[in-house]
Amino acid sequence: MPSFDVVSEVDLQEVRNAVDQASREVANRFDFKDTHSHLELGDDAITIESSSEDRLTALRQVLEEKLVKRKVSLKAISYGDVQDASGSRSRQVVALNSGISSDKAKELNKFIKGLGIKGVQSQTQGEQLRVISKKRDHLQAVMSSLKEGDFGIPLDYQNFRD
């Protein structure tokens, strides 16, 4: 039976490249001179730190530009609260969101059922969603409807099987 999987993943290699490019730009830009601004990539988050909140905002903008240039969706990141660091500095954690949470999976299932396409079934499998139908055209219609909708997370489509 034809099927495909809906997933929400972040390409960590592209994120790493974007953080490296942003770090190099921050090191060379005059407006970041003597602010000791830096970006640090962890396992599932990016920590940005600078001397003040306005420099932190500028650092966030540089990071977003590099992520967009590397084709990483900004829906895949979420910003934490700005924290005070030692030496009157500001720090912020940027979380990398991957996987479809159970709430989003329910929302996606409800959306697919609401399309009213006969014979289309969807089920949650861990952090992904499998969509099944007897007809390939129905699956393509579901895929295009999901692309048009905005669910707050980046959606990718994998394992399209006939």
Domain match, 89 and 107 both: no
Domain match, 135 and 92 both: no
Picking from 96, 123, 148, the residue at the C-terminal end of a domain is 96
Domain match, 77 and 19 both: yes
CATH number of 128's domain:
3.30.70.860
How far separated are the first and last CA of the chain, in Å rounded?
Answer: 6
* Helix axes of 136-148 and 102-114: crossing angle, nearest 10 degrees: 120
The predicted model scores a pTM of: 0.81
- Amino acid letter, residue 131: V
Domain match, 73 and 31 both: yes
pLDDT of res. 66: 94
Task: Give which of 20, 9, 70 is closest to 44, Cα–Cα.
Answer: 9
Name the domain count of the chain.
2
Domain match, 106 and 90 both: no
Which residue segment(s) compose the domain that 141 sits in?
A: 3-8+100-161
pLDDT of res. 16: 93
| Spatial distance between the Cα atoms of 114 and 104, rounded to a whole number of angstroms | 15
Contact 30, 24 (CB under 8 A): no
Picking from 96, 116, 146, the residue at the C-terminal end of a domain is 96
Ranges in the chain, pLDDT < 50: none
Partners of 129 in beta bridges: 6, 124
pLDDT of res. 85: 77
Contact 38, 19 (CB under 8 A): no
Contact 67, 74 (CB under 8 A): yes
Picking from 67, 96, 125, the residue at the C-terminal end of a domain is 96
Domain match, 90 and 146 both: no
Domain match, 33 and 78 both: yes
Sequence-separated (6 or more) residues with CB below 8 Å from residue 160: 2, 3, 4, 139
Distances (CA, A) of 160 to 1, 26, 57, 133: 11, 41, 41, 11
Domain match, 121 and 74 both: no
Task: Give which of 61, 120, 124 is closest to 92, Cα–Cα.
Answer: 61
